[in-house]
Amino acid sequence: MKETWKDIPGYEGLYQVSDMGRVRSLDRTVSCGRWGSRKHKGRVLKPSPDTNGYLMVGLSKNGKTKTQKIHQLVAISFLNHKPCGQKQVVDHIDNNPQNNILDNLQLITQRENASKDKTGGTSKYVGVYWYKNYQKWKASITINGKIKHVGYFNDEYDAHLAYQNELAKISA
C-alpha cells in the first residue's frame, strides 16, 4: 500500500502528515541572520507520547514551536476535521492512542466518545448505574460539566429510557 502525504494546514511547505500517521519536515532553507542561511534536509519526525499515550511532535514556524498530537494532524489533513473544543473529537477506533493510521480514526461527538467501549460500570447503558443506598437504578446526565439527576428506577431499561429522553431534550 502506498503512503499518501498531505501538507499540514498552517504549515504548508514546512511539514506533511501521512495516512499512515507519520509526520515529516520538508527540505527548506533557514535564515541564520547575519550569517546567511543554511539548508535543512527533510526527515520523518520522531514522535513522543504525552501522559495519556497520545503521540505528539513539535512543529516550528517563524521561530515558534508548537506541540501537536499526530491523530489531530491526520484528521485535520485527511478528514477535514476542524477542531471545535468538545463538540466533535477524533476517536481511535481500536482505542490504541498510538495507532494513528487514517483507517483507525473517526470523527464522533464527545458524548459518543465518553460512552464508547464503556467497561467496569454496573449498567450496560450510558448514564445509568446501580445505586446501592436505594437499591434502584439511577439515571443522570452531564450537561456543560454539571450533573443533572434524572431519577431512580426499579428497572435498568426504564432508567435508560429516561436518560435517552433527557438527552433528546438537550440535543433538540
**Which part of the chain is CATH 3.30.730?**
118-171
All three cell numbers of 164? 435517552
**Which part of the chain is CATH 3.90.75.20?**
5-111
Contacts of 149 (CB under 8 A, 6+ apart): 138, 140
pTM of the model: 0.70
Contacts of 64 (CB under 8 A, 6+ apart): none
Note the Cα 17 to chain centre separation in Å.
16
CATH code that applies to domain 5-111? 3.90.75.20
**Nearest CA among 37, 17, 30 for reference residue 61:** 30
**Nearest CA among 50, 43, 45 for reference residue 98:** 50
Q: How far is CA 13 from CA 41, 61, 142, in A?
A: 13, 11, 43
* pLDDT tens readout for residues 65-80: 999 999 999 999 999 9
**Torsion sign, CA atoms 32, 35, 39, 43:** negative
Domain range 118-171, CATH architecture: 2-Layer Sandwich (3.30)
Amino acid at 82: K
* pLDDT tens readout for residues 20-74: 999 999 998 877 788 888 888 999 999 999 999 999 999 999 889 999 999 999 9
pLDDT at 99: 97
pLDDT grade, residue 118 (50/70/90)?
Answer: low
* pLDDT tens readout for residues 132-164: 899 999 999 887 778 889 999 999 999 999 999
